Amino acid sequence: MRAADDAIRSETAHGYRPHLDGIRALAVVAVILFHLGYGWIPGGFVGVDVFFVLSGYLITGILLREVDGRGTLRLSRFYARRARRLLPASIAVIAVVLVLSAQLLDAVQQQSVGWDAVYAALYSANWRFALVGGDYFAPGDVPSPLVHYWSLAVEEQFYLVWPALLLGLHALGRRLRPRDPLPVVLSAVAGLALASAVASIALAGSPLTYYGTHTRAYQLLAGGILAIGVGRWRWRLPDGRSGQVAGGTLAAAGLAVLAYLAHDISDATQYPGWPGMWVTVASLAVIAGVDLAPAGGAQAVIGHRSLAAVGRLSYSLYIWHWPVIVLLPVAAEHWGGPLDRLTGTAGLAAVTVAIALASYLLVERPIRFRLAPSLRPLPVVAVGLSCSVLMATVAYARFQPDSAFERQALDAVRDLAKPGSCTYFAEDWPAPADSEPCVYRQGTGPVVALVGDSHGQQWQPALEELAIPDDATIVRATRGGCPANDVTAFLRDETRQFRVERDCTEWRHVVYRKLIDEYDPDVVIVGTRSFVRGLEVDGSYVYQGGPVHLAAWTDGWDWTLDTLTSGGATVVVNQLLPTLPERIPACLVEHGEGTTDCDFPVSVDQRVIPYQAAVTALDGTHDGQVRVVDPTSFACPGGTCPAIIDDVIVHRDDNHLSATFVRRHAADYAALLDAVGVTI
């Protein structure tokens, strides 16, 4: 997420271009406002795309001028400049995040942040977040303070590959067209960009597409294509007043499109796709409008010294702002005092600017310009790589479990029912109209359906065991984070954005009906924890805890149970489990083997009681087809929820049972079903 401003200053032919720093300023401000949670800019993340295009434009221009002038590239010098410019602040942020995480986060999140730091230090954070996808942290957890390193990784991977690739394409062009190789280079680059753009559109909707270098490369290459045109055909706007007007019009149109998209795009899960294409075109328009126009006009406005100053600080602002936004509220909760006054948006912004300025003046500029300035490029690169590897090693070693018991506890975090070949995570489902229930186990006996969110999905291991004697078929209609009762929930996502999940409601209306019509289940097992979610009620947003929320949540069962019982199935609703005060695996790591400090009474969760009463009232409704069972009888025997039963960790977090525990207690679950007249 930056275009190297040192690159501009190093180009004596062009000199310093403050208008490009002005573009950086606008881009980084959009990203920060988005991350601060302002509702009027839900697509502010498009600022990252602007940086990608600008980086491709600048770096390609620099490389082409060196190739044209020298016939080759001094790669060691190029990488040394990148190392001096980017690594000091990058490593400083990772180090600070690791120190604060050790003080502020529990053992589960510490381990995750440790892995994030390993990938961030090794320039591959985008693949880390692409792979963990929707299962990274549950809603309400502290998001990773290093998630923004994904964009740094994309650019660093581009910097690693692009110079050598461009040099190779230039050499190929000289063979095919000795006098004018750039048309060959342009054709090859355009082909690569087209392939990336097609992948970005065709594969939109998954974390791999959002974070992937392969689906973001076209934005960097688009900037490169503009740079090739400038270098080969001297693309410029006319001199004089007409050129200023044309540049101003082009820049204004591009900025207007970017502003509209930043305001209009509200679903990052479907990005980049076609919106990413429009952002790229608009970014090219802005760059061309200010950099290819005569001096004055748009150049003077966007290159104003105030904007240029922010642009020079843009890398520092970007790399520090997200850890501040994530960790400062947690620090205030832990330490209080003056920090409490800094957790509002104004305080977070002020702290970000202060830290970024200190980083720029005390870390980045001294290392970049004054530390061993005569050191040759190769040693600079070697030192940079060594520091990165050392930081990755420290991050890995710091947050790994120290004993077999700690390893067992942390492994329990991932002890959840596996989706198998069936879709589960929200971002993996197709559009609701195209969604279908999934046969998880095909048998010749009764048909058992599993319905709900993660609290429905968690009973799958028990059903797998219970399905064996009568060779039952298991059909799944479970979707992570999607309530089973017919309500529309909202939340603040991992980027602090307010999101109403209407797609979940639409999905439920489609898939639950298909489940009954197409599979005619004998038994439907339902589980959900939707009572903790805020709900949209008659156009208003209602938070958990009040009578309006309880009434809407209770009413939401009517449609769901009407639908699920419409084919004659017996519907079993699982009673709500209490939410414990701590994440059990983290609690066990903190207190050690043999502790009882992680055993909590059921009574610790008072907010669940009225919702449990609402679930109990469902028993016997719909002509007796609805039954309610209470798993707390074996998960929390005697009114206490033990952390460990028979050497098995009961909870994988503070509210989900571990898959191993559920599987081990399949017989207990079967006894609950048998008590209400249900047999699988």
Is the C-alpha dihedral spanning 9, 12, 16, 17 positive or negative? Answer: negative
Neighbours of 668 (CB within 10 A): 15
Residue 497: per-residue pLDDT: 65
**572 in Cβ contact with 619 (< 8 Å):** no
Whole-prediction pTM: 0.89
Q: Which of 349, 120, 55, 327 is nearest to 357 (CA)?
A: 349
Mean pLDDT of 371-391: 95
Give 119's contacts (C-beta < 8 A, 6+ positions apart): 125, 127, 128, 149, 153
Q: What amino acid occupies position 316?
A: S
Name the least confident of 314-318, 329-333, 489-493: 489-493
Q: Tell me: the pLDDT tens digits for 111-144?
A: 999 999 999 999 999 999 998 864 433 434 788 9
Residue 493: per-residue pLDDT: 62
Residue 496: per-residue pLDDT: 60
**578 in Cβ contact with 633 (< 8 Å):** no
Residue 567 pLDDT exceeds 70: yes
Mean pLDDT of 430-454: 96
Residue 7: per-residue pLDDT: 40
Residue 136: per-residue pLDDT: 34
Q: Between the ranges 45-59, 398-412, 532-546, where is the mean pLDDT highest?
A: 45-59
Mean pLDDT of 191-200: 98
- CA–CA gap between residue 475 and residue 448 (Å, rounded): 6
Alpha-helix runs per DSSP H in 203-344: 207-211, 217-233, 240-264, 273-291, 298-302, 305-312, 314-335
Name the least confident of 297-301, 348-352, 571-575: 297-301
Residue 426: per-residue pLDDT: 87
Q: Tell me: the pLDDT tens digits for 223-236?
A: 999 999 998 888 88
Calculate the alpha carbon distances from 495 to 18, 46, 145, 530 in Å.
30, 14, 10, 21
Query: How would CATH label the architecture of 422-578+603-631+659-674?
Result: 3-Layer(aba) Sandwich (3.40)
b/e code 168-189 from CB counts within 10 Å (16+ = b): ebbeebbeeeeeebbebbbebb
> CA torsion, points 366, 367, 371, 377, in degrees to nearest 10?
-140
Rg (the chain; Cα; Å): 28
Residue 499: per-residue pLDDT: 80
Name the least confident of 60-74, 188-202, 554-568, 580-594: 60-74
Residue 597 pLDDT exceeds 90: yes
Residue 11 pLDDT exceeds 50: no
Q: Tell me: the pLDDT tens digits for 477-500?
A: 999 999 999 999 998 665 566 788
- CA–CA gap between residue 209 and residue 218 (Å, rounded): 12
Q: Tell me: the pLDDT tens digits for 26-75?
A: 999 999 999 998 889 999 999 999 999 999 999 999 999 998 878 788 99
Q: Between the ranges 66-80, 496-510, 630-644, where is the mean pLDDT highest?
A: 630-644
Residue 14: per-residue pLDDT: 57
- CA–CA gap between residue 1 and residue 52 (Å, rounded): 7
Residue 243 pLDDT exceeds 70: yes
Mean pLDDT of 382-395: 96
Residue 495: per-residue pLDDT: 58
Mean pLDDT of 495-522: 91
Q: Tell me: the pLDDT tens digits for 659-672?
A: 999 999 999 999 99
Residue 133: per-residue pLDDT: 60
Exposure of 639 in the CB half-sphere (CA atoms within 13 A)? 2
Q: Domain spans of the chain?
A: 5-398, 422-578+603-631+659-674
Residue 494: per-residue pLDDT: 57
Neighbours of 233 (CB within 10 A): 11
